[in-house]
Chain A
């Protein structure tokens, strides 16, 4: 799959950042590196979704979603639309609120594209620090631009994975809203949540956790299934720990980046020293300057690989495990409803009033609960196998990349040592 992405900046903001710091960078990336979360689309040609293009504008990102499908539902076999982040969130929420999918793990929504930090850094660089040389400035700018680009690629990947998981799921892919999202040429007129809605969402979460706590403490609510009992305890602990691991992996990555950035002024100072010297140290310093420059690039790659293979993976499964937890909550809610319906039925029977309604209600709750349980079981097992294979793939790739970089560093260092020892 070839992806083409263009990174463009508004001419207005170019002026803001001064001196045309933002250049039009058009990039044809090589066959895409599989993201840290892979969705197996092999053998499924009925619906293929990808983000073929993305443009970053001042405060929003526009994704071009391309669909290839032979499903009769669609008007064409190949078509594209342009979507923004809010529309993805709308789609996600639509799934979550849909009762039909209560028994499924809803793929976690992609995080909001946030380039603020990166932009600020570039702006600060642009404002200029006169103590750094032109070369240093160019290198730092290069670093920041690479960082921005990496961030951009990541956000595209996150949005894409979200869609691809939906497309791969036998039930979720048939959702009407999904079709609309993929096909409807116009803007979906979905505005971002305003403050009230955000607050509402926040409150809903609180209510949900309170409810959950209430349900679990409800007497008489016995978990009948060992499987779910185990899953609950497992997921609760797992989610907390993976969140922890993700945060700390982020910090490690950040430290690596700082280290790589430190090599820039070191290399520059060594260069100046080398050019000034008149004795044998001249070549030594210059070689050392070059070494640090190369080490910087290697260290930078270590940082970004750790980011992709470790941090991102942990982050994704943190979100996914949250989605699994949400599923468990919904099932528990259904169980509680079922229990309540049972109690109501008993009451109705003793009072011999509205037994029919109570009976049918109880039936419904029972069916719902059982349906949820069944699908939840399947979903959770899928979650496990997905998780295991993803971790496996990423850990292997991480180890291989670390080895590659360490070997490259060793070679570089050895060559420099030979050169330095060789001279008188």
Chain B
């Protein structure tokens, strides 16, 4: 049954169309409940709506939940969709089967190729078994590693190339293990593409690591010191986390641009990512314009959930920034401690050398050795402080900026809808005036024109409303998924970080226990 059903074209469907599909609801109702208990990561975004509705305070009609399931299947777009085009191509990826039991029919829907703006239709044709495999096991069986930074080229044209290794059992990839070489601007290019496709419809696209002119210049110039190696390592780790977050997103994982990034050996150079390029400047201008617009949009929020969530994210942002600043101070001081301990170790060794009492001299030398080892310990702990704790916080600060961006897009969407409504009203008024005035000769033509315009704007208003509802639904799901991920992320990292602290303390115990008999041996 599922296979033959044709997806309604999203473009000009009226809200009532969705009622027809209610019979498909059953497919999902049962599975919704069974999925509650399944592991968090592999869920298709649709099921999070269930979670979200229970968590949020905003009223959410049950019917909407089920509509979501349907709509999600159509939400995949592989083409650049501009804000203006009301058409969104229903390129369908087959979602992993929502049910754990193999009996539930899978949702294989042949993609409908719209002639309009599609250039590269991608057909995801997956067999039932594959989907079940993935549904039963760890669906996100994909591991990304970024490693082996190496400098390519010389002078100011030099750049670092990173090896991106993918290990996966997902069938959408041609191999199960492969690696490619990518440079930083490639990552930025990937993000830029994903952002332009998905951000404005409400998906939280993980932000790419930040550019650093100072850092890169040092590397280019060829400074082989610890600060540039640290910079490269910091960037490598950030790129790895970026990719890992991106592939965890079920929608983004299906994106062909992402696949191309991971798989193809040659990638067209992304030139628009440079800060001072034409595109870069345009981006900055747009950002400024957006900021101004945001301030002037006064939205009538009908759904308290959004207001609440926005406030929540605002608070979270503030607190995370504070915490991040404090953790950065911690990292700095721990590094200082390490340096000072090393210096002390040296002077203790010297003192031990001068000491003419043999046993004391030996004990002092031992003390120097202990302090040297402790200095190493402090350094390692500082790394842990930074890479686990500090970077997690800075990642989330930028992620929350992306979340805020998505909320802003919703506002813009609303604004568009509002504007369409206002324009429609004006047109109707004009029509009404025409009706009242009595000039039969000119009127017919003008009347027809205005009639046409009115119909056009009516359609726009409906589209605007649909878009707005769509983005609202998507955001709800996305936020639910995001929060789940956030909880998992933080918990994992906190545990890892605490374990690193335990490690340090245990080493300290070992060192001092070894030293104690030496001190006691001083006679």
A residues apposed to B, CB below 8 Å: 230, 234, 237-238, 241-242, 244-245, 247-249, 251-252, 254-256, 258-259, 262-263, 265-266, 269-270, 272-273, 276, 278-281, 284, 288, 291, 384, 387-388, 391-392, 395-396, 398-400, 402-403, 406-407, 409-410, 413-414, 416-417, 420-421
- Contact residues in B for A409 (Cβ distance below 8 Å): 501, 505
Can you give 22 contacting A-B residue pairs, CB < 8 Å? A241-B350, A241-B351, A252-B341, A252-B344, A255-B340, A258-B333, A259-B334, A269-B323, A269-B326, A273-B320, A276-B316, A278-B312, A281-B486, A392-B360, A395-B367, A396-B520, A399-B516, A406-B506, A406-B508, A406-B509, A410-B502, A420-B494
**Alpha-carbon distance between A224 and B344 when the two chains are bound, in angstroms:** 37
Asked whether A413 and B354 contact (CB < 8 A) given A262-B329, A273-B320, A281-B490, the answer is: no
Answer whether residue B512 sits at the interface, using C-beta atoms and an 8 A cutoff: yes
Report B240 CB to chain A, min CB distance, Å. 24
Asked whether A244 and B347 contact (CB < 8 A) given A234-B356, A279-B483, A284-B494, the answer is: yes
- The listed residue (B327, B483, B522) touching A391 by CB distance below 8 A is B522
Report B163 CB to chain A, min CB distance, Å. 34
**Alpha-carbon distance between A25 and B312 when the two chains are bound, in angstroms:** 44
B491 near A281: Cβ-Cβ < 8 Å: yes
B340 near A417: Cβ-Cβ < 8 Å: no
A252 near B337: Cβ-Cβ < 8 Å: yes
Q: Which residue of B lies closest to A238 (CB)?
A: B354
A272 near B319: Cβ-Cβ < 8 Å: yes
CB-CB nearest 4 A-B residue pairs = A255-B337, A269-B323, A395-B519, A392-B522
B320 near A399: Cβ-Cβ < 8 Å: no
**Alpha-carbon distance between A273 and B55 when the two chains are bound, in angstroms:** 19
B516 near A403: Cβ-Cβ < 8 Å: yes
Asked whether A245 and B483 contact (CB < 8 A) given A262-B333, A413-B502, A420-B495, the answer is: no
A417 near B495: Cβ-Cβ < 8 Å: yes
A270 near B323: Cβ-Cβ < 8 Å: yes
B498 near A242: Cβ-Cβ < 8 Å: no
8 A Cβ contacts from B308-355 to A: 312, 315-316, 319-320, 322-323, 325-327, 329-330, 333-334, 336-337, 340-341, 343-344, 347-348, 350-351, 353-355
- Contact residues in A for B312 (Cβ distance below 8 Å): 276, 278
- Contact residues in B for A244 (Cβ distance below 8 Å): 347, 350-351
- The listed residue (B322, B326, B498, B506) touching A417 by CB distance below 8 A is B498
List 20 additional contacts besides A392-B520, A398-B519; criterion CB under 8 Å: A230-B356, A241-B350, A247-B347, A248-B344, A255-B333, A262-B330, A265-B329, A273-B320, A278-B55, A279-B487, A387-B357, A388-B360, A396-B520, A399-B515, A403-B512, A406-B505, A406-B512, A407-B509, A413-B498, A420-B495
B350 near A273: Cβ-Cβ < 8 Å: no
**DSSP majority for the B interface?**
helix
B350 near A384: Cβ-Cβ < 8 Å: no
Answer whether residue B20 sits at the interface, using C-beta atoms and an 8 A cutoff: no
Q: Which residue of B lies closest to A397 (CB)?
A: B519
B323 near A395: Cβ-Cβ < 8 Å: no
**Alpha-carbon distance between A270 and B494 when the two chains are bound, in angstroms:** 12
- Contact residues in B for A241 (Cβ distance below 8 Å): 347, 350-351, 353-354
- Contact residues in B for A251 (Cβ distance below 8 Å): 340, 343-344
- Contact residues in A for B506 (Cβ distance below 8 Å): 406, 410
A284 near B499: Cβ-Cβ < 8 Å: no
- Contact residues in B for A284 (Cβ distance below 8 Å): 490-491, 494
Asked whether A288 and B494 contact (CB < 8 A) given A388-B360, A417-B499, the answer is: yes
- The listed residue (B319, B347, B509, B515) touching A269 by CB distance below 8 A is B319
**Alpha-carbon distance between A237 and B355 when the two chains are bound, in angstroms:** 9
Report A277 CB to chain B, min CB distance, Å. 8
B509 near A410: Cβ-Cβ < 8 Å: yes
Answer whether residue B513 sits at the interface, using C-beta atoms and an 8 A cutoff: yes
B508 near A276: Cβ-Cβ < 8 Å: no
Report A247 CB to chain B, min CB distance, Å. 8
Q: Which residue of A lies closest to B330 (CB)?
A: A262
Report B447 CB to chain A, min CB distance, Å. 57
**Alpha-carbon distance between A270 and B508 when the two chains are bound, in angstroms:** 27
Report A283 CB to chain B, min CB distance, Å. 10
**Alpha-carbon distance between A29 and B512 when the two chains are bound, in angstroms:** 29
A420 near B516: Cβ-Cβ < 8 Å: no
- Contact residues in B for A421 (Cβ distance below 8 Å): 495
B519 near A392: Cβ-Cβ < 8 Å: yes
- Contact residues in B for A291 (Cβ distance below 8 Å): 498
B363 near A391: Cβ-Cβ < 8 Å: yes
- The listed residue (B337, B360, B515) touching A256 by CB distance below 8 A is B337
- Contact residues in B for A392 (Cβ distance below 8 Å): 360, 363, 519-520, 522
Report B368 CB to chain A, min CB distance, Å. 10
Report B481 CB to chain A, min CB distance, Å. 13
Q: Which residue of A lies closest to B517 (CB)?
A: A399
Report B325 CB to chain A, min CB distance, Å. 8
- The listed residue (A259, A396, A414) touching B516 by CB distance below 8 A is A396
A265 near B333: Cβ-Cβ < 8 Å: no
- The listed residue (A262, A280, A416) touching B498 by CB distance below 8 A is A416
B347 near A402: Cβ-Cβ < 8 Å: no
Report B206 CB to chain A, min CB distance, Å. 19
Asked whether A259 and B330 contact (CB < 8 A) given A238-B355, A392-B360, A399-B512, the answer is: yes
B319 near A399: Cβ-Cβ < 8 Å: no
Asked whether A403 and B326 contact (CB < 8 A) given A273-B319, A288-B494, the answer is: no
Report A198 CB to chain B, min CB distance, Å. 30
A420 near B491: Cβ-Cβ < 8 Å: yes
**Alpha-carbon distance between A280 and B347 when the two chains are bound, in angstroms:** 49
- Contact residues in B for A398 (Cβ distance below 8 Å): 519
Q: Which residue of B lies closest to A261 (CB)?
A: B333
Asked whether A248 and B347 contact (CB < 8 A) given A234-B354, A255-B337, the answer is: yes
Report A261 CB to chain B, min CB distance, Å. 8
- Contact residues in A for B327 (Cβ distance below 8 Å): 266
Interface string of B351-384 (1 = CB under 8 A from A): 1011111011001100100000000000000000
- Contact residues in A for B344 (Cβ distance below 8 Å): 245, 248-249, 251-252
Report A92 CB to chain B, min CB distance, Å. 26
A420 near B522: Cβ-Cβ < 8 Å: no
**Alpha-carbon distance between A266 and B324 when the two chains are bound, in angstroms:** 9
Report A182 CB to chain B, min CB distance, Å. 34
- Contact residues in A for B356 (Cβ distance below 8 Å): 230, 234, 384
- Contact residues in B for A252 (Cβ distance below 8 Å): 337, 340-341, 344
